[in-house]
Amino acid sequence: MDKFEPTKAFKKRNTICVQGELMDLSQPKVMGILNITPDSFFDGGKYQHRDAILKRCDQILDEGGDMIDIGAYSSRPGAVHVAEQEEGSRLIEVLSWIREIYPRVILSVDTFRASVAEKCVREFSVDIINDISGGVMDKLMFETISRLKVPYIMMHMKGIPQNMQMNPVYENLIKEISLFFSNQLDRLTALGVSDVILDPGFGFGKTIDHNYQLMNGMEQFDLFKLPVLVGVSRKSMIYKLLDIESAAALNGTTVLNTIALTKGANILRVHDVKEAVECVKLVSQLQKTE
C-alpha cells in the first residue's frame, strides 16, 4: 500500500460557504434525509408523491434540521442500479416542488454523477453535493465541483453499492481510508476546491466490526483539519448487532450519534431529526463545561 502522508494543502476549516454566506460547523448541524427512491433500506417508497415529499420537508425543518439531503439513487447494499436519466428525472421533479415552497432552504443532493450534480446546481440552486463514491464512480465529478463552487461531501466506499458488502477486507482500516482521503484531497486542491466535508462511509464496504473500529478511531481524521459528516442512522451496524429491525433502531442511532459528536462529528445525517437535534444540544452543553 502507498505511504500515507496527511495533506498539507488544507488548513483548519470550521466553516463552509453556503448561499454566499459562511456556515459555522463548530456547532454541529443536522442533515435530514429525504429518500425519493422506491427501495431505500429504511423508508424506501415512502416519499414518492408531492404531498408526502413536502410534508417530509416540513417535518425536517420544523424539528430543527439545518439542511435536507435528497437521494434518488438507492445505495443500500445490493441495490438495483438506476440509470442516469431516471435519477435525474426523479430529482428534477422533486427539486422543482421544494424550491417552489422553500426557495432558501439548504439542499444537498446525494449523487455520484457529475452531470446530475451540475443540473441540480445550475437549475435548482442546490447548495451541496454529497458523493458516496468520493469522485471514483464519475471521473468528471471533481472538475464539475470546481466549476460549480459548492461544498462537496466526499465519502469513502470500498467497491460500489452492488458489491460493497461482499466480504470487504482491509489491512488497516483507518490508514486505508485516510490514504484515500489524502489522495482525493490532493486532486481537489489542485482544482481549487476548498469546501470539502469528509464522510468515512459507515456501512459502505465495511463489516459490522469495521464500522465500530471506524467509530472508535474517528479522531484520527482530525489531521485533515476538515469538517466530518457521520451517517449511521438506522443502519445494519445497529440493527443487525442488536438483532432488531431498522424500524426499532432509533435508540441505537442516538447512542452512536452521541459518540460521533464526542469524537468530532460536525454534521449528523439522519432520518430522525428531532432526536439528533436534541443530541447535539446535550453534547454541546456537556462540552461547554470541559
CATH number for the domain harbouring residue 174: 3.20.20.20
The answer to the question of residue 275 being in a domain is yes
Number of domains the chain is built from: 1
Which helix (DSSP H) or strand (DSSP E) does residue 281 occupy?
helix 273-288
Query: Residue 188 has which C-alpha cell?
Result: 481537489
Rounded Cα gap, residues 197 and 178, in angstroms: 13
Rounded Cα gap, residues 199 and 208, in angstroms: 17
Measured CA to CA in angstroms, residue 95 lies from 20, 81, 120, 121 at distances of: 20, 22, 8, 10
Strand 29-35 to 67-71 pairing: parallel
Q: How many CA atoms lie within 13 A of 109 on its CB side?
A: 28
The answer to the question of residue 138 being in a domain is yes
- pLDDT confidence of residue 246: 94
Residues ≥6 apart with Cβ < 8 Å to 146: 188, 191, 192, 193
The answer to the question of residue 2 being in a domain is no
The answer to the question of residue 185 being in a domain is yes
25 in Cβ contact with 200 (< 8 Å): no
pTM of the model: 0.91
Q: Give the catalytic positions in this structure.
A: 235, 269
273 in Cβ contact with 254 (< 8 Å): no
The answer to the question of residue 164 being in a domain is yes
The answer to the question of residue 8 being in a domain is no
Strand 107-110 to 67-71 pairing: parallel
Can you give the pLDDT of all 290 residues of the chain as single tens digits? 455 554 444 455 789 999 999 999 999 999 999 999 875 545 545 667 899 999 999 999 999 999 999 998 876 665 677 889 999 999 999 999 999 999 999 999 999 999 999 999 999 999 999 999 999 999 999 999 999 999 999 999 987 776 667 778 899 999 999 999 999 999 999 999 999 999 999 999 999 999 999 999 999 999 999 999 999 999 999 999 999 999 999 999 999 999 999 999 999 999 999 999 999 999 999 998 76
Q: What would you report as the CA-atom Rg of the chain, rounded to the nearest whole angstrom?
A: 18
Domain range for residue 121?
28-288
140 in Cβ contact with 6 (< 8 Å): no
The answer to the question of residue 227 being in a domain is yes
The answer to the question of residue 11 being in a domain is no
